[in-house]
Amino acid sequence: MSAVASDGQTWALVVNPVAGGGRGPGEWAAIGGILVRHGIRHQTIFTESPGHAMDLTRHLVERGARRFLVGGGDGLLNEVVNGLFTQSAIDPGAVTLACLPRGTGNDWSRTFGLPVDPAAAAAVIASGRTFEQTIGRVIYHEDGVERSRFFLNLCGVGFDAAVSRRLASNRAAGPVGPLKYQYHLLAALAGYHPTRMTVRLDGREICEQVLSLAVGIGRYNGGGMKQLPHAVPGGGLLALTVIRPVSWLRAVRVLPRLYDGSFVGLPEITTATASRVEVDSAPDCAVEADGETLGGGPFRFEIVPRRLRVVIPPDWRS
C-alpha cells in the first residue's frame, strides 16, 4: 500500500471481488487497464470479508490516501463511508470518493446517473467533476445498546429491512437482479405485518400503521425503485416516504410506479423533508442502511455537519 500512502493523488481502488457476481481478480485486472488508459493512477485493494472495507479505509487514510475509488455496490460504498467518518486523522471533506458501479443494485450511482460500463465510468472519473454530498446517520439499538451507522443513500424501516434480510440470506445463491428482487419483495409482503409507528420530524408527528418508511439522501432503492423521488443529495435535508398498508394484489398492481416515482401520488403515500427524524414502532422492527440490515428501534435519523466530495458525471443536474 506504499503508493497510496506516499501519494495522495493515487486512487485507492477498494474492490469487493464478488460484488454483483463479479469474476474476481481477472476482471479487475482488465478494468485496471481501462483506468490506466484514462490516466487514472490507482492501487487495487481487495476486501476479504463483510466489514473489512471499513478497517481498510481507516488504515489507508492514516497512510495518506485522499482519493478512494469504490469497485462494488451500495454495501461497499457504505463501508468506505463509515470508515471515513469513523476515523480521526483528517476531516472526511478532504477526501474525494468515486465509484465504479459493480454491485447488484447500484442505487446510489443511479441518483447521479453514473454509468455501469467501466470505460464510461473511467471517463467520468477522469473528468474530475465533484459534488459535495450530504451524509446521514441512523441511530438504532442492538440488545439494548445504542449504535449508529452513517449512510450516503437511504435507510428503510420495517418492510424494507425485512426484504433486505431476505436478500442477504439469498446472495449465496447468486446475483440478485431486478426480477429476483421483485420476487423477494412480494414474497416478504405476503408474510409481513405492518407496525404502528410514531414518526416525529421537525415539529410534526405522524402516528399510524406503516408498511414501509424510507429516510434518505439518494432517490433509489431496491435496484432502481425511485423510493425518494424528492430527495436532493446536496440539499442538507432528509427526504421521507411513508407507505401505509396495502393488499398484496394492490402492491402487484402499483409496483411499476415505484420505478418512476409516480407512486408518491397514491393515497397510501405521505412524503416530507426534515433535518431530523425520530421513529418508534410497536411492535419493534428493524432498519437497513444502504442495503445493510441493522438492529431495532427506537430510531433517529439526522444529517451530519460534514459533507463528502463525490465524483459525478459532468452533465449531471440536481
Percent share of the chain, pLDDT over 70: 93
User: Please, are residues 138 and 299 in contact by the beta-carbon 8 Å criterion?
Assistant: yes
The pLDDT assigned to 6 comes to: 53
User: What count of residues does the chain have?
Assistant: 318
Q: What is the pLDDT of residue 207?
A: 96
pLDDT at position 279: 98
pLDDT (tens digit per residue) in 12-46: 999 988 765 555 677 889 999 999 999 999 999 99
Confidence of residue 145 (pLDDT cuts 50, 70, 90): very high
Q: What percent of the chain has pLDDT over 90?
A: 77
Burial label, 141 (beta-carbon count in 10 A; 0-12, 13-18, 19+): middle
Domain ranges of the chain: 2-128, 136-303
What pLDDT score was predicted for residue 177?
Answer: 63
The verdict on pTM exceeding 0.85 is yes
Please state which of the four CATH numbers 3.30.750.24, 3.90.650.10, 3.40.50.10190, 3.40.50.10330 is assigned to the domain occupying 2-128. 3.40.50.10330
Q: Residues 138, 142, 144, 145: is their CA dihedral positive or negative?
A: negative
Confidence band, pLDDT 50/70/90 cuts, at residue 2: very low
Mean pLDDT of 220-246: 95
User: What's the rounded Cα separation, in Å, for the pair 235 and 318?
Assistant: 10
pLDDT tens digits for 91-125? 999 999 999 999 888 999 999 999 999 999 999 99
pLDDT at 317: 85
Task: Answer yes or no: is pLDDT of 59 > 90.
Answer: yes
At residue 103, the pLDDT reads 86
Predicted local confidence at residue 167, as pLDDT = 76
94: alpha, beta or left, given left = phi > 0 and alpha = psi -120 to 50? alpha
Higher pLDDT, 171 or 245: 245
Contact 78, 106 (CB under 8 A): no
Give the pLDDT confidence score for residue 172 in this predicted structure.
52
Q: Which CATH class is domain 136-303?
A: mainly beta
Task: Determine the pLDDT at residue 23.
Answer: 58
Q: What is the pLDDT of residues 290-299, one digit of tens each?
A: 999 999 999 9
Average pLDDT of span 144-173: 86
pLDDT in tens, 186-224: 888 888 899 999 999 988 999 999 999 999 999 999 889
